[in-house]
Chain A
Amino acid sequence: KQEVTQIPAALSVPEGENLVLNCSFTDSAIYNLQWFRQDPGKGLTSLLLIQSSQREQTSGRLNASLDKSSGRSTLYIAASQPGDSATYLCAVLYGQNFVFGPGTRLSVLP
């Protein structure tokens, strides 16, 4: 059974800091990994999608890496802003289904 964990569960940083969110999965037989953002009371918005054959993806201040062999992915956020405050979830496509981690709740303080 695939299990996905995320560390830390919560993070509070001052504006401008660079930060790293971690995602781990137990079975490396994944097709892709996605990072999502969820604002309070809202749905999930896809931030980055990494196919299993890729090592990383970048979008603006966000960079996600994937190491299938070690079962890890990191989301790097550069120069954090208060608007980045949200919950960040990772999910792996395992078979036909997406398995989600519990999320990291990020607060960026002005």
Chain B
Amino acid sequence: NAGVTQTPKFRILKIGQSMTLQCAQDMNHNYMYWYRQDPGMGLKLIYYSVGAGITDKGEVPNGYNVSRSTTEDFPLRLELAAPSQTSVYFCASTKGGSNTGELFFGEGSRLTVL
């Protein structure tokens, strides 16, 4: 049982480059989330989705974009990378609706922008 899978685990980008962080879950969860975690800080919500075709901004969406074409996948796109986007990115999912319960996390993607 894979759970939530994130790729890549590590990536170094140059300023101005773009990339996509991949997230996939195999638990048939409706709700999916992208967070970033900076050293010594809590998690900040970037974007979330409550189902295929539905996405919404979180607390820190600037510089990022998402799409949700299937229930399983929720990729996060970084456009024109900046040093401020150096962080660890976590994808998470939960059942959602009246069954919203345990939140499952991926292992994280560590991104450095130089």
Contact = CB atoms under 8 A, between A and B. Distances in A.
Interface of A: 4, 31-32, 34, 36, 41-46, 49, 51, 89, 91, 93, 96-98, 100-103
A43 B103 contact: no
Contacts, number: 52
13 contacts: A34-B102, A34-B103, A41-B108, A43-B105, A43-B108, A89-B43, A96-B31, A96-B48, A98-B45, A98-B92, A98-B103, A100-B35, A102-B41
B100 interface: yes
Interface in B70-114: 90, 92, 96, 100-108
Interface residues of B, number: 23
A77 B12 CA distance: 39
B100 A31 contact: yes
B104 A42 contact: no
Given A44-B105, A49-B102, A91-B43, 19 more contacts: A32-B100, A34-B102, A34-B103, A36-B103, A36-B105, A42-B107, A42-B108, A43-B106, A43-B108, A44-B92, A46-B102, A49-B101, A91-B103, A96-B31, A96-B50, A97-B33, A97-B48, A98-B103, A100-B43
Top 8 closest pairs, chain A to chain B, by CB: A43-B105, A102-B42, A100-B43, A100-B42, A44-B105, A43-B107, A46-B102, A49-B102
B61 interface: no
A36 to B, nearest CB: 8
